[in-house]
Structures are given as structure tokens and as C-alpha cells.
Structure 1
């Protein structure tokens, strides 16, 4: 009798495991969200201008993130998406007097892989590694007029990612931190530290 009960419990546990695995089988996903981006352009510009100049950055800004992909192994995924980074802008001063202002915009398509590990039945934590195609444009305005510059490239990015699944694994809330470093033709690096929040829907 005892052996029968043990076998029954093992069978039920195995069945539940298979059911949970089946409910989180691979499938297509669609997702979107927003990221709060903090950049380093103000620091780079201040280094170029040298002593006597002060660059005041307007702070973090928000940009959208839209993507499609394939989910597997619970919450891991491969994604292809479009990322628009939050605008970097600020003002340039010398001797306490404002002499100009700037804006920097960047966007592009990307490919990313997210490897997630379960912390609980519906909670996952893991990492992201991706490749970002980017196009950047800077606009500088002074008393002498407005000048624009542009650059583009392809660089890797990485970060941390967490997911909370709901509706029997058909939906998810996603939060993450990602670091980007874009090197232009002149060897200058444009960096972004991004905190993101979004949602995903799964077609399993």
C-alpha cells in the first residue's frame, strides 16, 4: 500500500511537471515598453571643449522599444526589435553665460537573446546580450547658427532582465537594465544606461 501511494505521488508530480512544461512550451511573442535612458554626451562634449566651459545635461529621457520574437524554456527568448533612445539635450555655458545648446537622437533595429532562470513558478531572472544597429544625429545651436552631425554603426549591448508571468504564462511584465556603448567613426563613444519596463504577450 505504501509503495502504491509513493508511486501515485510520483506520477502526479511528474504529470504536474509535464503540464507546467507544456503550458510554457515555445511560441511566438510580441512585446513593447519604454526605457529611461541616461547618456554621456554632456561629459564627452565637456572634454572636447576643455576648461572654461560647462555643459549642463537636461537629464534622463524616455524612448520606446517594440519587438517580436520567439519564447522558449519558460521565459527565455530571441527578439528582433526597434529601439528609439531617449533624447539627450543640454546647454553650454562659459563664464556663467549660455552660448549654445545641443540635442542628440539615436535609434535603430536590434537582435537580442534573453536567457532566463526561474526563481519561482512565475518569476524569472536572467541576462540579455544583443547587437544594436544604430543611427545617431546631433544638433548644435549657437549664436552663429545651427549645425548638424550624424553617425551610425553596429555594437553589442548587454544587461539584466526580469520577468513576471501571468494568465497561465500567456502574458508577462518585463523589467530590465541595459548598457549600450556606441563608437562612431571618430572613435568617440556614446553611452546609454537604460532602465526599462514593458509587457509581453505569448502565443504558445
Structure 2
């Protein structure tokens, strides 16, 4: 192989390696790029109050349960990120204060969300989330010898608070608090969830 061809081949094979750090620095500078994230949450619903308002027995306070979040998206800059994901809501359970009735609720569904963040420092940002969440909720009423499960489908807007701590050039630690409210057909009370979440996010 002639020397000129060797030099051209060497340049073609090494140019992407030389340009990669430059591209990474450019992406880090404006904060743009793809986003992938996952997390766990502690979710609490108003299922006890919901059952009471719909004519059920008096219920004690609802116990919280674990939920999960998985999403992909795109960050346009350090301020605006759009996400699409799957949310698993753990609504917990409530026991009747009289009798032996136990009510459990959980659900899942896809969502779209926009995160509006304000960088406080180079490694820390706070802001808010506004999204639209769908849910397939299973409400199980256990009365000892008899158990009934009702499935409700709904979609509604939600909002919350969000904080991000950078853990290097691509990874971040995420903390969030979201409020969900779903209108149920033929019910006077909305099904609500309070969610406190922790997770990790990667940019690529």
C-alpha cells in the first residue's frame, strides 16, 4: 500500500475517535441530547376516601405502596426536556374501620411530560413537570370470603416538582414529587395519587 493511501486510511479510521470528545463537549455545553431514565416511587392514593364517598364502609387511612417509572425523551437544552414513558402506580391499600373489608388499588399507563428546569449550578437544577397520564386502575375489594376487582380506565393531566443532580457528564440523580387526579365514570370522587420518586437519568 502506498504511503498516501496509508495516511488516508489512518485518517479515516481515527477521525471519528478524535471528533467524539469534541461532540461530547458540545452536547454537554448546551445540554441537548437523548434521555433515558428509570426510578422507583412511594405512591399513596385516596382509595379509602374514594370508597367511603361512593357508599362504602368507613375506611382507615391508606397505606402507601411502591411504584416505578421508565421513560425515554429528548432534552432540547438545559431548560426543557420532553419525555414519553410507562408509569406503574402503587396506590396501596386501606382497611375498613368496621368489619373485615380491605381495598387495594394499583394501575399503570403511558404518559407524555415536559420538564421545565432552572440550572442553579452546573450540577444542580430544579423545576417543574407538566404531563398527561393514562391509567388502567385495578380496584380490588376483599371482604374475606368474597373478593371483587373493578378496572377503571382514565386519562388526565398531572403536575409536579423535579430536581436533578449531575453525577458526571451523562448520568444524573433525580428526585420528584407528582400529583395525579383521575376522573372515574359514574363516581363523585376523583381517584388521586401522591407520588414521591427517586431515580437515575442518562443523556446520550
Normalising by structure 2, report the TM-score. Answer: 0.81
Query: What per-residue deviation string (whole Å, max 9, x for no partner) do you get for residues 95-153 of structure 1?
Result: xxx33212111110000000111111111111100000111111112145111211111
Q: Tell me, what secondary structure is at the counterpart of 2:51?
A: helix
The structure-2 alpha-carbon separation of the partners of 1:26 and 1:202, relative to structure 1 and needing over 3 Å to count, comes to same
Bigger share in strand = 1
Q: Give the equivalent residue in structure 2 for 1:173.
A: 173
Rounded Cα–Cα distance in structure 2 between residues aligned with 1:47 and 1:130: 27
1:132, 1:157 within 8 Å by CA — same for their partners in 2?
yes
Q: Give the equivalent residue in structure 2 for 1:183.
A: 183
- Tell me which of 68, 74, 90 is aligned to 1:86: 90
2:45, 2:62 within 8 Å by CA — same for their partners in 1?
no
Q: Tell me, what secondary structure is at the counterpart of 1:45?
A: helix
Residue-pair matches, total: 179
Rounded Cα–Cα distance in structure 1 between residues aligned with 2:179 and 2:128: 12
Unaligned runs of 5+ in 2: 1-24
Normalising by structure 1, report the TM-score. Answer: 0.81
- Tell me which of 81, 84, 101 is aligned to 1:77: 81
Q: Give the equivalent residue in structure 1 for 2:63.
A: 59
Q: Tell me, what secondary structure is at the counterpart of 1:86?
A: strand
Deviation at 1:22, TM superposition (A): 5.1
Deviation at 1:64, TM superposition (A): 0.6
Deviation at 1:191, TM superposition (A): 0.5
- Tell me which of 22, 39, 46 is aligned to 1:33: 39
